[in-house]
């Protein structure tokens, strides 16, 4: 029997391209090769696809890969992609990767793919829009205000004063659409607020200011089974830094994660599971997702960061929670591919 040719898309145009390379090569290494033919598909900074020889997948950075593309890789124009792969495993993160852009392209090319469709992916990326939808669905989210660049520039000092009056100190600023904690600041001194907003505006033209949450962070992978989403596991996170930073997320040994949770009581874990499923459905996520939140010190459960995709490095929540559910990396990768194929087989128009 012909094996399904699975293009693993990695790299891309976002600030998270190195994280994506790590995800992509780990998915490549762990894909069941008796069942699938994995094809490493690198997306460069101009959005072009290249099929990489497997040797290039082990390069340290996307820059190292880019240097070798012309010599060692094969450029695949968009039109030709459906002749090269039968299915796309999206291991991209961030803008153009899990925000609906690549999903739209794959829809036009008639290539089924992992993860959510165009709208749900866009919502998974946009922290302001997702909060509107979650609130309407009765899922608790942090109190926040959207700061639009043009408005901010008119009188940033007055705007900053207003934010401090609204939220007090500390407060949190973050780009509307980013990931991996990029551009996030916990503002602990009012004189730092303007700089914090500016550092978030580097990444997007709007920024969220949020109330500062005190409590315990959690992350849940949701996976669909026969069309029904289920929470794979709940992981409690104890960052080493003052918050869960880029380094805490990706540097070996930086932060402690507990699956199942170590200090969150079972009844609260049940509430987390319910809220996470509500959030998943409200945003229209499909096949899988990763939903993060806080258990506040007063016991309330808040959803802070629903993501339509997940990091896929060896120690990511995705593989950690799969292991807790007795699934090897190869097993959950296969399951995600098959779930996604079924979903795409049943869709009416774009997912
Ligand atoms: N309102 C808040 N109060 C306290 N800490 C916060 C708040 N918002 C974010 N943080 C901290 O910043 C981290 C990153 O924020 P957030 O999850 O919104 O960003 P992200 O870049 O989308 O992350 P991911 O890579 O998980 O998608 C959180 O894990 C948490 O530690
Ligand atoms: Mg996120």
Q: Read off the pLDDT band of 278 (50, 70, 90).
A: very high
305 Cβ below 6 A of ligand 1: yes
pLDDT of residue 99: 97
Candidate of 18, 180, 243 to mutate for ligand 1, largest count of ligand atoms within 8 Å of Cβ: 243
Residue nearest to ligand 1 atom 22, measured at CA: 179
User: Mean pLDDT over residues 335-351, rounded?
Assistant: 97
State the pLDDT at residue 253: 83
Pocket test for ligand 1, best of 140, 181, 187, 254 (most atoms within 8 A of CB): 181
Report the pLDDT value the prediction gives residue 193, as an integer from 0 to 100.
Answer: 95
Does 115 sit in the ligand 1 pocket, CB within 6 Å? Answer: no
CATH 3.40.50.20 fits 4-113, yes or no: yes
- In the structure, what pLDDT confidence band is assigned to residue 274 with cuts at 50, 70 and 90? very high
Residue whose C-alpha is closest to residue 14's, from 72, 98, 70, 79: 98
Q: What per-residue confidence (pLDDT) applies to 170?
A: 97
pLDDT band at 184 (very low <50, low <70, confident <90, very high): very high
φ, ψ dihedrals at 7, nearest 5°: -80, 120
Verify whether ligand 1 is closer than 6 Å to residue 212 (CB atom): yes
Q: Is 210 in the pocket of ligand 1 (CB under 6 A)?
A: yes
Contact 237, 257 (CB under 8 A): yes
Of residues 1 and 129, the one with the higher pLDDT is 129
Give the dihedral of Cα atoms 34, 36, 42, 43; nearest 10 deg.
-160
SS3 readout for 192-215: HHHHHHHHHHCCCCEEEEEECCCE
Quick check: 196 and 175 in contact, CB under 8 A?
Answer: no
Q: Give me the pLDDT at residue 252, please.
A: 85
Task: Give which of 280, 288, 277 is closest to 343, Cα–Cα.
Answer: 288
236 pocket-lining for ligand 1 (C-beta < 6 Å): no
Print burial letters for 212-234: b (CB count within 10 Å at least 16), e (below 16).
Answer: ebebbbbbbbbbbeeeebebbbb
Sheet holding 36-43, edge to edge: 74-76, 49-51, 36-43, 4-11, 87-90
CA of 300 to the centre of ligand 1 (A): 17
143/302 Cα distance (integer angstroms): 10
Q: What is the pTM of this model?
A: 0.96
Query: pLDDT band at residue 226, thresholds of 50, 70 and 90?
Result: confident
Give me the mean pLDDT over the 173-186 stretch.
Answer: 94
293 lines ligand 1 (CB under 6 A): no
- Whole-number Å distance, alpha carbon 164 to ligand 2 midpoint, is 24
Residue 254 burial (C-beta neighbours within 10 Å; 0-12, 13-18, 19+): middle
Distance CA 322, CA 332 (A): 7
Cβ atoms of residues 90 and 113 within 8 Å: yes
Q: Is 244 a pocket residue for ligand 1 (Cβ < 6 Å)? A: yes
Q: Which tens digit of pLDDT belongs to each residue from 95-140?
A: 999 999 999 999 999 999 999 999 999 999 999 999 999 999 999 9
* 164, two tokens: 């401090």
Closest ligand to residue 211's CA: 1
Q: Confirm whether 124-140+214-346 and 144-211 share one CATH topology.
A: no
Our answer on whether the CB atom of 307 is closer than 6 Å to any ligand 1 atom is yes
Report pLDDT for 58.
Answer: 92
State residue 194's pLDDT score: 95
Q: How far is the CA of 273 from the centre of ligand 2 (A)?
A: 18
Mean pLDDT over 223-247 rounds to 92
Fold of 144-211: Dna Ligase; domain 1 (3.30.1490)
Q: Rounded distance, CA 148 to CA 295, Å?
A: 29
Residues 342-351 have a mean pLDDT of 96
Percent of the chain with pLDDT over 90: 93
Fold of the 124-140+214-346 domain: D-amino Acid Aminotransferase; Chain A, domain 1 (3.30.470)
Q: If you measure from the C-alpha of residue 304 to the centroid of ligand 2, how many angstroms do you get, rounded to a whole number? A: 9
- Is any atom of ligand 1 closer than 6 Å to the C-beta of 204? no
CB within 8 A of 138, min separation 6: which ones?
278
> What pLDDT is attached to residue 254?
85
Q: How confident is the model at residue 242 (pLDDT cuts 50, 70, 90)?
A: confident
Q: State the pLDDT at residue 211.
A: 97
Q: Residues with beta carbon < 5 A to ion ligand 2?
A: 179, 305, 307
Average pLDDT, whole number, for the chain? 96
Upper half-sphere CA count for residue 88 (Cβ side, 13 Å): 30
Q: List 303's β-bridge partners, or say none.
A: 293
Structure confidence at residue 251 as a pLDDT band (50, 70, 90) = confident
Residue nearest to atom 1 of ligand 1 (CA): 212
Task: Tell me the C-alpha distance between 115 and 285, whole Å.
Answer: 8
Domain residue ranges of the chain, discontinuous segments joined by +: 4-113, 124-140+214-346, 144-211
Q: Tens digit of pLDDT for each residue in 157-177?
A: 999 999 999 999 999 999 999
Q: How far is the CA of 46 from the centre of ligand 1 (A)?
A: 29
Q: How far is the CA of 306 from the centre of ligand 2 (A)?
A: 6
Query: Smallest Cα–Cα separation from 334: which of 89, 145, 63?
Result: 89
């Amino acid at each position: 029997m012909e094996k399904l040719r699975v293009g693993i898309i990695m790299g891309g145009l976002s600030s998270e391209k190195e994280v994506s390379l790590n995800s992509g090569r780990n998915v490549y290494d762990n894909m069941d090769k008796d069942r699938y033919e994995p094809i490493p598909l690198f997306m460069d900074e101009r959005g072009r696809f290249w099929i990489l020889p497997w040797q290039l997948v082990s390069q340290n950075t996307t820059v190292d890969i880019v240097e070798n593309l012309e010599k060692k890789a094969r450029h695949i124009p968009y039109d030709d992609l459906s002749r090269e792969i039968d299915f796309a495993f999206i291991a991209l993160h961030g803008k153009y990767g899990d925000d609906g852009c690549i999903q739209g392209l794959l829809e036009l090319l008639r290539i089924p793919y992992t993860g959510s469709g165009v709208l749900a992916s866009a919502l998974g990326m946009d922290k302001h829009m997702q909060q509107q939808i979650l609130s309407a669905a009765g899922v608790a989210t942090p109190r926040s205000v959207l700061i639009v660049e043009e408005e901010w520039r008119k009188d940033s000092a007055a705007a900053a004063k207003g934010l401090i009056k609204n939220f007090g100190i500390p407060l949190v600023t973050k780009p509307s659409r980013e990931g991996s904690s990029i551009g996030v600041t916990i503002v602990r001194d009012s004189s730092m607020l303007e700089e914090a907003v500016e550092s978030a505006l580097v990444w997007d033209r709007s920024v969220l200011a949020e109330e500062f949450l005190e409590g315990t962070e959690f992350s849940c992978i949701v996976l669909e089974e026969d069309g029904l989403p289920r929470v794979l596991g709940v992981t409690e996170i104890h960052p080493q830094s003052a918050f869960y930073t880029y380094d805490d997320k990706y540097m070996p040994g930086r932060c402690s994660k507990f699956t199942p949770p170590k200090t969150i009581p079972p009844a609260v874990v049940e509430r987390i599971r319910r809220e996470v499923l509500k959030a998943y459905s409200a945003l229209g996520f499909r096949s899988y997702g990763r939903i993060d939140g806080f258990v506040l010190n007063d016991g309330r459960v808040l959803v802070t960061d629903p993501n339509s995709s997940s990091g896929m490095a060896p120690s990511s929540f995705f593989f950690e929670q799969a292991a807790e559910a007795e699934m090897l990396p190869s097993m959950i990768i296969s399951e995600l591919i098959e779930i996604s194929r079924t979903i795409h087989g049943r869709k009416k128009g774009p997912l």
